[in-house]
């Protein structure tokens, strides 16, 4: 038994070309092409070589075919060629993460997806409607990760060694998945979550071709901004021409980055162009462009914590890895920073 789609996926997840894999496994390029196309299958010895070169147990290649996550299904923006290779690696890993969730669902019934779709609406209007539907009122969202999980969104961590790859999302069998870059600050992760929710709400019907991502990205950002900082509530806070200290107090209240707060105030005409620019410079000087001094602690997954550590916990990293025929270290990456590291 040998499954061609698994060989391809194992290769892509490491960002290897066939030529590189040929060099590293000592096999000919032609053989590799034939194995991936299913024209021929490797000998037992060949399978051992491939397994070693790709850091998977040999049995990985013997599991059922695996369906890749197509680029057009996921919410990526247009990327440089080098970054696109890393994106494909992340997408290959995402397909394996789906199997991890599949392993969980053998034992647990996870929340039914309840993310509305408003693909005909303007982003800010859609964000207000989702807030209303979910009874969030005008309050800050205390924990966005928990909120999304309760609405059936499955969260996972993407390989954060790739700092140039942002969060992304897609639907598989009507279930929404969001992959987070958990190496970022808490505030940025929250904005990323709200941004991906924007894609799920606004763009579920759209083919997500990265070449035409510009308008989509702007819409998801507008959605996130309104969803996290609703207009009427921000307007009622008397932030007209706000000082840096007031901006910092407001970002703590809404749990957003100081930069996102500043942007929102400018968007709502509470800061003039000139005030906006000088606020950005001041915040940048104080280190707010990359970090979030005095910020909050990153959110974690409630769902994964329950199924991995709960009273009737059945899915540990180790037994999931065994079932998926992968190294535990690899499976641990799927939930990195979303659950305690002792998982």
Contact residues for Zn ion, defined by CB under 5 A = 75, 217, 220
Phi, psi of 123 (to 5 degrees): -55, -45
- In angstroms, what is the minimal distance from the CB of 168 to Zn ion? 7
Min CB(75)–Zn ion separation in Å: 5
Q: Which is nearer to Zn ion, 6 or 216 (CB)?
A: 216
Q: What are the CA-CA distances from residue 38 to residues 70, 74, 93 (Å)?
A: 20, 27, 21
Residue 75 or 301 having the CB closest to Zn ion: 75
Q: How far is the CB of 140 from Zn ion (least distance, A)?
A: 23
Angle, nearest 10°, between helix axes 29-37 and 44-54? 100
For Zn ion, give the closer residue by CB, 145 or 220. Answer: 220
> Which lies closer to Zn ion via its Cβ, residue 217 or residue 267?
217
DSSP 111: P
From residue 114, give the alpha-carbon distance in Å to each of 134, 150, 151: 10, 9, 5
Tokens coding 157: 């961590």
CB of 227 to Zn ion, least distance (A): 14
Beta strands 168-172 and 175-180 are antiparallel
Contact 316, 308 (CB under 8 A): yes
Question: Within 10 Å of residue 342's Cβ, how many Cβ atoms?
Answer: 7
Q: In whole angstroms, how close is the CB of 210 to Zn ion at the nearest point?
A: 10
53 vs 256, beta carbon nearer Zn ion:
256
């Amino acid at each position: 038994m040998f499954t061609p789609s698994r060989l391809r996926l194992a290769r892509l997840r490491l960002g290897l070309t066939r030529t590189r894999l040929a060099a590293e496994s000592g096999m000919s390029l032609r053989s590799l092409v034939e194995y991936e196309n299913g024209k021929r299958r490797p000998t037992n010895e060949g399978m051992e070589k491939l397994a070693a070169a790709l850091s998977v147990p040999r049995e990985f290649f013997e599991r059922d075919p695996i369906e890749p996550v197509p680029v057009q299904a996921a919410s990526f923006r247009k990327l440089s060629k080098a970054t696109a290779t890393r994106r494909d690696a992340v997408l290959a890993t995402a397909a394996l993460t789906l199997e991890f969730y599949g392993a969980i669902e053998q034992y647990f019934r996870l929340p039914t997806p309840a993310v509305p779709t408003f693909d005909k609406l303007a982003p800010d209007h859609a964000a207000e409607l989702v807030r209303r539907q979910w009874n969030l009122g005008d309050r800050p969202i205390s924990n966005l990760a928990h909120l999304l999980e309760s609405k059936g969104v499955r969260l996972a961590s993407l390989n954060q060694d790739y700092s140039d790859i942002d969060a992304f999302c897609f639907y598989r069998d009507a279930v929404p998945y969001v992959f987070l870059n958990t190496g970022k600050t808490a505030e940025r992760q929250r904005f990323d979550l709200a941004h991906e929710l924007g894609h799920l709400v606004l763009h579920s019907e759209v083919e997500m071709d990265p070449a035409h991502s510009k308008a989509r990205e702007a819409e998801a950002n507008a959605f996130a901004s309104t969803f996290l900082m609703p207009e009427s509530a921000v307007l009622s806070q008397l932030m007209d021409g706000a000082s840096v200290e007031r901006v910092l107090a407001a970002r703590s209240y809404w749990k957003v980055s100081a930069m996102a707060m500043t942007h929102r105030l400018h968007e709502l005409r509470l800061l003039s162009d000139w005030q906006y620019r000088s606020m950005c410079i001041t915040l940048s000087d104080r280190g707010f462009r990359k970090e979030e001094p005095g910020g909050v602690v990153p959110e974690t997954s409630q769902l994964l914590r329950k199924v991995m550590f709960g009273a009737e916990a059945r899915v540990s990293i180790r037994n999931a890895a065994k079932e998926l025929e992968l190294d535990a270290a690899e499976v641990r990456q799927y939930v990195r920073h979303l659950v305690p590291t002792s998982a």
